[in-house]
Every structure is written in structure tokens, then in C-alpha cells.
Amino acid sequence: MLQNLFVVRHSPLRIMEMFYWPFIEVVLWGFLTTYLAQRDTSIPGGVGILLGAVVLWDVCFRTQQELAMTQLMDMWDRSIINLYASPLRQREYVTGAILFSLVRVLTGSVLLSVFVAVSFDFNILDTGRVLVPALVGLLGFGWALGLVIRATVLRFGSNAEVLAWSLALLLQPIAAVFYPVDSLPGWLQPVSRAVPVSHVFEAARAFLARGEVLTGQLLLAGALDVVYLAFGAWVLSVAYRSVRTRGLLSRPGY
């Protein structure tokens, strides 16, 4: 955690990347929603719901990315051996990275939300009582994905780093971010319902459209997150043991 904070302090790029892509995406969707609103397009809950989806999705996407990036940066620096040869436990290393990702993601999200409110007249706080459980659900799934990416990068080296940018995006079409699960083809709907953030977005849309709190959906998202987090932790522990058995830990980037 301390090492990551020092890195951010001296790296304008690491600070800029917290905002750059999210802002680009929000501006793009902001103009699109403005255009749709002018055309009087009928979307339940109003076109602002799309902007809310962008802001919330960004939480999940960047959480998994941040968790993966901290490990990748240690590997790129070839300094990761120093960490693994110290008394630092794997769970402490990961916990530090999770806390660091939380700080980065929440900081970026607050600024992004203010920008959206000022520029496009959409207040994320309109999601009301759903907001906090939604954030928990999004962070939880982001961490679960991040753990799987860390495990894959640990086992297969920096060849697997493309996952840090692509895994969440791969799931986005079935995560009900911009449209309800029911609008997906029938065969894909069970897959979508197995993704925790689908339930988060269903609950957020229901609240924005009808003021309804879908407690069941939010609880289901939380329960699925627990399952995926446990799976991610298990995959990481298997990968950690595997690289130590194969003698790969001292050759990061193999």
C-alpha cells in the first residue's frame, strides 16, 4: 500500500489515468443522452439513466483494473522478487492492493460524479438508498475479477496482462449495464443472471425509473459476489503455489 502511494505521488500518468478514460466516456455518453433527450426519446427513468450506468460501471471496471495494475507494475519493475522474498504474506500483499484500489476508485468516482452533475445535470445521488449497496456489489465483483487477473498474470507472466484491460469489458455486454436482462436473447439470460453486477444495474434502474428498491436483487448480487470473491481467492492461492513449485516466482514476466 505504502509503495503504491509513493508511486502515485511521483507518477502524473498514474494520477491522470484515474480520470482520463472515465471522463472521455462520460463526455461521450453525456452528449449522446443530451441528443436523445432533445429527440424526446422514451427511456424508462429518462435518458440520464444511461449516464448513471456509465458512472456505476466505471466503478467495477476500474476496481478490477487497479487491483491488477499494482501487481503488473511490480512485475514490470522487476522489483516484485523483493516483496516475495520479504516476510510479507500473499494475503497482506493482496489486501494492501485492495485498499489502494478502493482509495483510487472512490476518489475517481466522486470527481466523475461531480463532473456529470455539473455538466449533464445527472446526480448519482438520485439512486438514493440503492447507491451504497450498488457500490458494494460493484466493488466486490471488481475485486473478484481483479483476483482472477492477478492469479493469471502470476502464473502466466506479463503475457496475460491484456486481461487487465479486457476481462471486465468482455463481460459488459451481458452485465445488463445499459439494458435489462430481459432484453438479452433467452439463452444468454441465465448467464447474465450469474453476473452479480446485472442485479446491481437492474436494481439501480428500478429505483431511478420507479423509486422501487429491489432488495432481493441487491442481496443476490452480494451473495454472488461472495461466491466469486472466494473463487478468486482460491484461484490466486492455487496460482501462488503453482509458481513456487515451478520456480517461476523469481522470474516474473516469463
Binding site residues, another protein, CB under 8 A: 2-3, 6-7, 10-11, 73-74, 77-79, 81-89, 241, 244-247, 249-250
Angle 106-110-111 from CA coordinates, rounded to 5°:
120
Residue closer to another protein, measured from CB, 77 or 121 = 77
CA distance 231 to 237: 10
Report yes or no: 221 and 200 within 8 Å, Cβ to Cβ.
yes
Residue closer to another protein, measured from CB, 27 or 83 = 83
Residue closer to another protein, measured from CB, 7 or 160 = 7
Q: Which residues contact 175 (CB under 8 A, 6 or more apart)?
A: 57, 60, 192, 195, 197, 198, 201
Residue closer to another protein, measured from CB, 38 or 245 = 245
Residue with cell 450498488: 134
User: Closest approach of Cβ 13 to another protein, in Å?
Assistant: 10
Residue closer to another protein, measured from CB, 14 or 189 = 14
CA distance 98 to 87: 19
Q: Tell me the CA distances in angstroms from 22 to 58, 180, 217, 222, 233, one per residue in order.
A: 7, 23, 26, 25, 28
Question: Which class for 84: exposed (0-12), middle (13-18), buried (19 or more C-beta within 10 A)?
Answer: middle
Residue closer to another protein, measured from CB, 97 or 181 = 97
Burial 103-141 (b: 16+ CB within 10 A, else e): ebbeebbeebbebbbeebebebebbeebbebbbebbbbb
- Reduced to 3 states (helix: H, G, I; strand: E, B; else coil), residue 176 is coil
User: Closest approach of Cβ 68 to another protein, in Å?
Assistant: 17
Residue closer to another protein, measured from CB, 3 or 123 = 3
